[in-house]
């Protein structure tokens, strides 16, 4: 990504006026009547990826079609969890409870094992922050996530620094129904969302935006299994979440309304300045300088721009600003469903 302009304060008064103008245009409460959390947008099909977006690590290199199981097969459902990027850093990130989640299946009829996981096509950084391309007026996003199904379970990978445990048993018929749901879910839920945005860390605090990541996929899969009558074991299941904390978000608009010919130039500049320091760093000095810019914007000036459902939102940040948690989300009970994830 290209370096953004310096995060000086000279453009902030103009930005404040621009945001005030938006609030005035939209009414006293810019999100009056807004449903919280903002529902994750579903699509009718998965678009082709742009050639500009290149993955450092190939997505789903050993992927295979989901098999059709015999109705009378007994399938073990396995909870799989390990530190993210374990292949590169070992259990280092596990000490910070940064975990990746997946689901395993084991057929008792054939003895075959299968893994299904949901993750980014172009790595986490590309899904969280955009590229600032000199040939484009708007930030360019390489953000897609998808399910990957393949035969086999890497027992060592999951057991050594994480979890491989039985959570339920299902019939082959139930597996086939879940497989059909996975295909539909995968075609309509196409982009990754790193952040969960809440009003505060306190119990019962308002959630503004939900994440859409590997753990969310696992929770949706468990929910669907419960709807099909699956009974889960009573074991503790914890998940990693990355939180941002803010006051009520302000809706800003989409790419055309902000960056188009009739867009808001002050707001467009502010958004690009915000994302500039999040580019990959080339040296320790580069990292430190950009970190200071990010600290100044997010912590000192309490500003964050969120891209969600292909639209931009302004988050008036507040303490503790950012937090990583590793807490339990209980397994669902039979015939009981969660609220939409």
For position 31, what pLDDT does the model report? 60
Does residue 191 fall inside a structural domain?
yes
Other residues' Cβ atoms within 10 Å of the Cβ of residue 229: 11
Does residue 112 fall inside a structural domain?
yes
Q: What is the pLDDT of residues 19-74, one digit of tens each?
A: 555 544 443 345 668 999 999 999 999 989 999 999 989 999 999 999 999 999 99
| Centroid of chain to Cα 47 | 18
Q: Coil, strand, or helix at residue 106?
A: strand
Does residue 31 fall inside a structural domain?
no
Residue 223 has pLDDT above 70, yes or no: yes
- pLDDT band (50, 70, 90) for residue 217: very high
- DSSP result, 44-83: SSPPPPPTT---SS-SSTT--PPPPPPTT-EEEEEEEEEE
Tell me the CA distances in angstroms from 89 to 67, 159, 324, one per residue in order.
Answer: 33, 16, 19
**In the beta sheet, which residues pair with residue 303?**
316
Q: What is the mean pLDDT of residues 278-293?
A: 91
For position 1, what pLDDT does the model report? 32
Q: What is the pLDDT of residues 234-247, one digit of tens each?
A: 999 999 999 999 99
Q: What is the pLDDT of residues 140-187, one digit of tens each?
A: 999 999 999 999 999 999 998 899 999 999 999 999 999 999 999 999
Task: For residue 291, give both structure tokens.
Answer: 């970190």
Does residue 173 fall inside a structural domain?
yes
Distance (Å, rounded) from C-alpha 219 to C-alpha 238?
A: 11
Structural domain boundaries, residue 197: 74-239+318-328
For position 16, what pLDDT does the model report? 53
- What is the pTM (predicted TM-score) of this model? 0.88
Task: For residue 50, give both structure tokens.
Answer: 């742009």
**DSSP label of 278:** G
Residue 11 has pLDDT above 70, yes or no: no
Q: Is 10 annotated in the active site?
A: no
For position 111, what pLDDT does the model report? 97
Looking at 127, 142, 148, 214, which residue is catalytic? 214
Does residue 162 fall inside a structural domain?
yes
Does residue 39 fall inside a structural domain?
no
**DSSP label of 39:** P
Does residue 341 fall inside a structural domain?
no
Number of structural domains found in the chain? 1
Does residue 247 fall inside a structural domain?
no
Looking at 100, 127, 142, 148, which residue is catalytic? 100
Three-point CA angle 193, 52, 189, nearest 5°: 30
Q: Is 100 annotated in the active site?
A: yes
């Amino acid at each position: 990504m290209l370096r953004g302009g310096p995060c000086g304060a000279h453009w902030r008064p103009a930005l404040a006026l621009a945001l005030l103008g938006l609030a005035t245009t939209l009414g006293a409460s810019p999100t009056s009547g807004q449903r919280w959390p903002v529902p994750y947008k579903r699509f009718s099909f998965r678009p082709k990826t742009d050639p500009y977006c290149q993955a450092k690590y190939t997505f789903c290199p050993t992927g295979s079609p989901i098999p059709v199981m015999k109705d009378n097969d007994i399938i073990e459902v396995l909870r799989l969890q390990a530190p993210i990027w374990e292949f590169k850093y070992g259990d280092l990130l596990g000490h910070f409870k940064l975990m990746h989640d997946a689901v395993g299946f084991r057929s008792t009829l054939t003895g075959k094992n299968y893994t299904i996981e949901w993750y980014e096509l172009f790595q986490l950084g590309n899904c969280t922050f955009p590229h600032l391309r000199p040939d484009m007026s708007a930030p360019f996003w390489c953000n897609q996530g998808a399910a990957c199904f393949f035969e086999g379970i890497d027992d060592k990978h999951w057991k050594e620094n994480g979890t491989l445990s039985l959570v339920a048993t299902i019939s082959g018929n139930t597996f086939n129904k879940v497989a059909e749901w996975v295909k539909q879910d995968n075609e309509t839920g196409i982009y990754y969302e790193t952040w969960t945005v809440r009003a505060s860390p306190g119990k019962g605090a308002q959630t503004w935006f939900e994440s859409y990541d590997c753990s969310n996929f696992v929770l949706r899969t468990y929910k669907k299994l419960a709807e099909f009558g699956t009974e889960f074991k009573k074991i503790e299941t914890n998940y990693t979440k990355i939180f941002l904390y803010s006051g009520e978000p302000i809706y800003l608009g989409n790419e055309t309304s902000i960056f188009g010919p009739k867009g808001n130039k002050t707001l467009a500049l502010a958004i690009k300045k915000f994302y500039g320091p999040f580019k990959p760093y080339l040296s320790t000095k580069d990292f430190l300088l950009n970190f200071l810019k990010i600290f100044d914007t997010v912590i000192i000036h309490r500003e964050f721009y969120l891209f969600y459902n292909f639209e931009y939102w302004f988050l008036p940040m507040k303490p503790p600003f950012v937090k990583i948690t590793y807490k339990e989300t209980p397994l669902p009970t039979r015939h009981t469903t969660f609220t939409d994830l």
